[in-house]
Amino acid sequence: MESVPEGLALIPGGHFLMGADEGRDHSPIHSVYINSFLMDRYEVTNARYLQFCQATAHRLPAFWGMDQFRSGPRYPEHPVVGVSWLDAQVYATWIGMRLPTEAEWEYAARGGLAGKNYPNGDTLNAPDGNFVRSGQGGPVAVGSYPANGYGLYDMQGNVVEWVWDYYDAHYYASSPTENPRGPEAVDLRPEPVRFRVIRGGGWHSGPYCSRVYYRNALPANWLDFNVGFRCVRDGQVR
């Protein structure tokens, strides 16, 4: 086995209660088991994404060079925005990782806490994360706010994050109990515009949308100033 690489956190395997019973798409609460995995401590930054674009001739993100969204080489440690699910997936493959599943993301975001609304408790205030009431007006450098119990930063703010799964509002009623990877494609739209799940609040999100169980989705080719991503990979470590 290998040691934990720099910039990654070991998320230990275990059971957790996923979702919340509020009669919305994040219900019913259901027990899920997740294998251990490694996750980026920080959202993918402008600097990291620029390296990928330069190495592969991939297109630069939408909004690149716009100070309003802290996008471009002047903001190397800010999270990249303006990338689609398709872009994020190509990046993850290039770096030898993958996008987290929706269940992995929520399990990791909870940081070992059970039944809480946010990664560090039941309330979200300006000192806790970069959301709409924090007054930042855009993304901030990754790691500017406290980490959760697994050593992950910005799981409740800065930018919303793409995850692997297709979106289905009723998926929780039939989700597998071990390592769910989301439903099969649920509509007949062409692949690039089928909806993929996004998780976690961003700088432009309100407190409710920043809850660890809150679900939303966008077309896989959507480009947004409030959406970025982080990566995971399988693996045991010593």
Tens of pLDDT, residue by residue over 16-63, are: 999 999 889 999 999 999 999 999 999 999 999 999 999 999 999 999
- Centroid of chain to Cα 144: 17
**83 closest CA partner among 234, 225, 194, 185:** 225
Which one is the CATH code of 8-234: 3.90.1580.10, 3.40.50.1860, 3.40.980.10, 3.10.450.50? 3.90.1580.10
- Can you give the pLDDT at residue 236? 64
Q: Break the chain into its structural domains and give their ranges.
A: 8-234
* Residue 136: both structure tokens together: 């930042």
Indicate the pairing of strand 227-228 with strand 160-166: parallel
Give the mean pLDDT of 124-128.
95
Q: Which helix (H) or strand (E) holds 166?
A: strand 160-166
| b/e sequence 176-196, b meaning 16+ C-beta within 10 Å | eeeebebeeeeeeeeeeebbb
Name which residue leads in pLDDT, 98 or 189. Answer: 98
237 band by pLDDT with thresholds 50, 70 and 90: low
> Measured between alpha carbons, how far is residue 234 from residues 13, 17, 71 in Å?
11, 21, 30
